[in-house]
Structure 1
């Protein structure tokens, strides 16, 4: 079984979560991405969020939330995504960058337009009364 190791930033506001859609993709994803070389989780999170959303994570505010695994969208069966999620404060203005086509605040009702691993995260956040 193959596993894709990804790090993600959970940004919640007014019962909604920040999500992104990449160029050429049809589903929305929680922002973040894959580790490069021997990066730590924090280094990956800081780099990916700067690349995708043009903001700077404040390292001292990074807080682990959980790790979630599901079948990878668009890959053959048996390829899983492991998404390690963090919350953190940031400075700057959220702006799409690099491969990001759209930034959007999603609610729990948006399950049909998100990835499989994000569905698990949305359910977790709903149970924690953070996503409506």
Structure 2
């Protein structure tokens, strides 16, 4: 394993709460829910990378200037051939448009904290925090 392989996967995630539930997505072939987002491309800022990923996955435009850091979590990856640590920087942002599955996204859902076990490990941490902060049921 190279030093690159042992470094945590650095990913960005959008935390969207509506009616006390959080938006999650499931990609084709996966069995767990994830927060929308992904890896930034070379040279992208957090805002640019997250906006691109959310547009690709959900067809939603994040409003410039509305991005706010919510939390950063680290946990084990889910669904990869080799287990790695994931470092997920989570942001809230206002969006234009209604989310709908695009590209590799098979489905989306709005989950409560009671449904946390259906999520990937890092997303579980975020749902627990949202519940502790009184943002989701």
Q: TM-score, normalised by structure 2?
A: 0.91
Select 1:123's aligned residue among 109, 123, 128: 128
Structure 1 portions without partners, runs of 5+ = none
1:111 Cα deviation from its structure 2 partner: 1.5
> SS at the partner of 2:65?
helix
1:79-98 aligned at under 5 Å gives the runs 79-98=84-103
Between Structure 1 and Structure 2, which shows a larger proportion of strand residues? Answer: 1
RMSD: 1.1
Q: TM-score, normalised by structure 1?
A: 0.94
User: Is 2:35 aligned against 1:30?
Assistant: yes
Moved over 6 A (4+): none
1:1-132 aligned at under 5 Å gives the runs 1-75=6-80, 76-77=82-83, 79-132=84-137
Aligned to 2:3: none
d(CA) in 2 for partners of 1:30, 1:93: 16
Give the number of equivalent residue pairs. Answer: 131
d(CA) in 2 for partners of 1:13, 1:97: 20
1:13 Cα deviation from its structure 2 partner: 1.2
- Conserved in 1, the CA contact under 8 Å of 2:30 and 2:79? no
Deviations 1:48-74 (A, max 9, x none): 000000011101111111111001113
